[in-house]
């Protein structure tokens, strides 16, 4: 199984700042099969980004994904108050599909 390791565990930033979240895979994954989710307390995850750079319906363009091979990045260009949450990466290139352990973006 492919293990996804997300870093940092917690990111402390202020609104308006840029957030860069990392997801490293234990073996190479096609960028077409990587996704990112946002989860707020008490809620189900919400799909943000999938494939190389596709945003899910209703996701603002301040969210973007990039990467290849084993290293993938979610970037939030300018943090809005509603962006403070936990973010998970997912790979669905190999079975079983797996998720990272999450990065919490908190208000500094």
Partner 1 sequence: QLQLQESGPGLAKPSETLSLTCSVSGASISSSNYYWAWIRQPPGKGLEWIGSIYYTAVSYYNPSLKSRVTISLDTANNQISLRLSSVTAADTAVYYCARPLNAAVVRDVFHIWGQGTMVTVSS
The footprint of partner 1 (CB under 8 A) covers: 1, 33, 35, 37, 43-47, 50, 56, 88, 90, 92-93, 95-102
Q: Which is nearer to partner 1, 67 or 100 (CB)?
A: 100
Residue with tokens 């990392």: 22
**Spacing of C-alpha 28 from chain mean position:** 17
Give the residue with the Cβ less far from partner 1, 17 or 93.
93
CB of 62 to partner 1, least distance (A): 20
Q: How far is the CB of 80 from partner 1 (least distance, A)?
A: 22
Q: How far is the CB of 92 from partner 1 (least distance, A)?
A: 4
13 vs 47 by CB, closer to partner 1: 47
69: left (phi > 0), else alpha (psi -120 to 50), else beta? left
User: C-alpha angle with apex 96: 34 to 60, nearest 5 degrees?
Assistant: 25
Beta carbons of 79 and 106 less than 8 angstroms apart: no
């Amino acid at each position: 199984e492919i293990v996804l390791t997300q870093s940092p565990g917690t990111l402390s930033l202020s609104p308006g700042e840029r957030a860069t979240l990392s997801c490293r895979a234990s073996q190479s994954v096609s960028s077409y099969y990587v996704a990112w989710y946002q989860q707020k307390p008490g809620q189900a995850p919400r799909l943000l980004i999938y494939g190389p750079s596709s945003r899910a319906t209703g996701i603002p363009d301040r969210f973007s994904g990039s990467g290849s091979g084993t290293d993938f990045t979610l970037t939030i260009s300018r943090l809005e108050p509603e962006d403070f949450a936990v973010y998970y990466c997912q790979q669905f290139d190999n079975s079983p599909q797996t998720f990272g352990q999450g990065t919490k973006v908190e208000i500094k």
